[in-house]
Amino acid sequence: MPIESLKKKQDRADKILKILYESYPDAHCALHHKNPLELLVATILSAQCTDKKVNQVTAVLFEKYKCPDDYATVDLLELEQDIKSIGLFRSKSKSLIKMGQRLADTYDSKVPNKMEDLISLGGVGRKTANVVLGNIFGINEGIVVDTHVGRINSLLKLSNKNDAKKIELDLVKVFKYHQDEWCIISHLFIDHGRAICIARRPKCFDCPISMHCPSKII
């Protein structure tokens, strides 16, 4: 297969994006939240866990923990019990406590709106920071690369990288002229991954973007 130029990838990505908009007009962040802190916490908890499970846990968690100080001062074992049904709950509990402490000590108990500040918080990497920046502050600094986005990108061959950060760097080039849409692009990919491009049984025959997918099985 000949190497596809960036311009051709951009043209193909434009067509894919248009179809995804038509297919998933209600695409949005699936993590339930009412404020920046809640989305930050929910996204930290979402690593290697379904949004459905996270929403079940946070429905109770957010009634108990309402500000960074609540996370900063809670006993570790108590917090572990509160989120024990979520995978990696022990490490995530430590991250939430560190996150709460840094927000309280350094950011006046407010969630910052800069990438470098967000990734200084416990449990926060570029993915989580991009989720918060895009969905809360309307800042499109990057594209969220979660499991769905990484997998679908691999099939669409918009990037040939395996590392999430490197995939993101390639995707922002491919979608260079859609920067104000970077946040929604990840939601569109995620919705497509859940509805059609399912990991174990992709529905290529029903896929609206199959004509633009080098990996289609038809």
For the annotated catalytic residues, the residue numbers are 127, 146
At 113, which amino acid appears?
A: N
For residues 159 and 27, give the distance between their C-alpha atoms in angstroms, rounded to a whole number: 23
Q: What is the DSSP letter of 181?
A: G
For residues 117 and 35, give the distance between their C-alpha atoms in angstroms, rounded to a whole number: 18
Q: Which two tokens stand for residue 181?
A: 């849409």
Number of helical H runs and strand E runs in the chain: 11, 0
Find where tokens 């995530």 sit: 92
Query: Within 10 Å of residue 49's Cβ, how many Cβ atoms?
Result: 17
With b meaning 16 or more CB within 10 Å and e meaning fewer, what string describes 86-99? beebeebbebbbbb
Residue 188 class from Cβ within 10 Å (0-12 exposed, 13-18 middle, 19+ buried)? Answer: buried
